[in-house]
Structure 1
Amino acid sequence: MNANEISLRPAVETDAWVLSAIHIAAIKALPATFYTHKELLAWRNYREKPDGSNILKSMKAETFWVAVDGDVVTGFASFIVDELIGLYVHPNYQGKGIGRALVQHFCDEAIAQGIDKVFTTASLYAEGFYLRLGFTAIKRAPHHLRTGVIVPVIKMSKTLNIAMA
């Protein structure tokens, strides 16, 4: 799979449980190097099985896009205007350019709206990924998970070249 073969589409409500499953699988695949096992468990809302209810709630405020391989959803991104809120790719599909394509789509959407700078809050695992995509680290900060657990993250930004749009 290369960047030209990655197909993106807006998420629909019926995707919510698959997105929850991808979220859980992606976090379960992480080693307990930057975060403790307890923090990783809290990050996936203590879930072993998908529950799309939180994603359905988030869909009311955030824009969700999914990457698909045929009819299989392989990853997703969610954002609000200039902030990338979430980016997850199923472990079986990581390393194939899906995350990069989703971030590029987010940036393209921002450029189309005349936005010249975007932001994200990256996990410690994702910092290198975002740096490779042209983001710069602003600062380390505490992040409050829905479960009440606080984890360290990195606030990041990327300046977009809106003249090229």
Structure 2
Amino acid sequence: MSASKISLRPADEKDGWALSAIHIAAIKALPATFYTEQELFAWRNNHNQPDSSNILKNMKLESLWVAVEKDVVMGFASFVVDELIGLYVHPKYQGQGVGRALVEHFCNKASDRGIDKVITTASLYAEGFYLRLGFTAIKRAPHYLRNGVVVPVTKMSKILISAD
């Protein structure tokens, strides 16, 4: 698959189950190197099966965009103004430009709003990915998952180049 076949669109309620399934699959595919199995399970909101309720709540608060090829949802990103909240790509589509397309879309949306710097909180697994996209590590910090489990993450930022 080439990046040119990836199209992006706003998520809608009918995507909820697919987004939950992608979230779970992406985390299940991670080895227990940076985080324990217990932490990875907590990161999945203690779910092994998709549950769209959290995703649907987030749709009301965040901009949620999906990457699709034909009718297949391959990944998604959620963001609020200058902060990328979440980025998940189904393991079957990782390494094919899906994550990059979603992050670039987020950066472009922020730039269009006159924002010159964006931030994200990266898992230790994703730190290298964001570095390759021009983000800079700010600091390691604790991240509090919804169920009270605390995991280390890297706070990162990127200066956006104005198209002017």
**One fold, TM greater than 0.5?**
yes
Q: Which residue in 1 is equivalent to 2:59?
A: 59
Q: Which residue in 1 is equivalent to 2:4?
A: 4
Q: Per-residue deviation at 1:46?
A: 1.1
Q: Which residue in 2 is equivalent to 1:103?
A: 103
Q: Which residue in 2 is equivalent to 1:92?
A: 92
Q: Per-residue deviation at 1:147?
A: 1.1
Moved over 4 A (4+): none
Q: Which residue in 2 is equivalent to 1:153?
A: 153
Q: Per-residue deviation at 1:38?
A: 0.4
Q: Which residue in 2 is equivalent to 1:114?
A: 114
- CA shift digits 1:5-29 (9 cap, x unpaired): 1111110011011100000000000
Q: Which amino acid aligns with 1:92?
A: K
Unaligned runs of 5+ in 1: none
Q: How many residue pairs end up in the alignment?
A: 164
Q: How does 1:115-154 map to 2 (within 5 A)?
A: 115-154=115-154
The two structures have a TM-score, normalised by structure 1, of: 0.98
Secondary structure of the 2:73 match is strand
Secondary structure of the 2:26 match is helix
Matched, 1:78 2:78: yes
Q: d(CA) in 1 for partners of 2:2 and 2:84?
A: 23
Q: d(CA) in 1 for partners of 2:161 and 2:63?
A: 22
Q: How does 1:14-29 map to 2 (within 5 A)?
A: 14-29=14-29
Aligned CA-pair RMSD: 0.7
Q: Per-residue deviation at 1:99?
A: 0.1
Q: d(CA) in 2 for partners of 1:6 and 1:135?
A: 23
Unaligned runs of 5+ in 2: none
Q: d(CA) in 1 for partners of 2:46 and 2:111?
A: 37
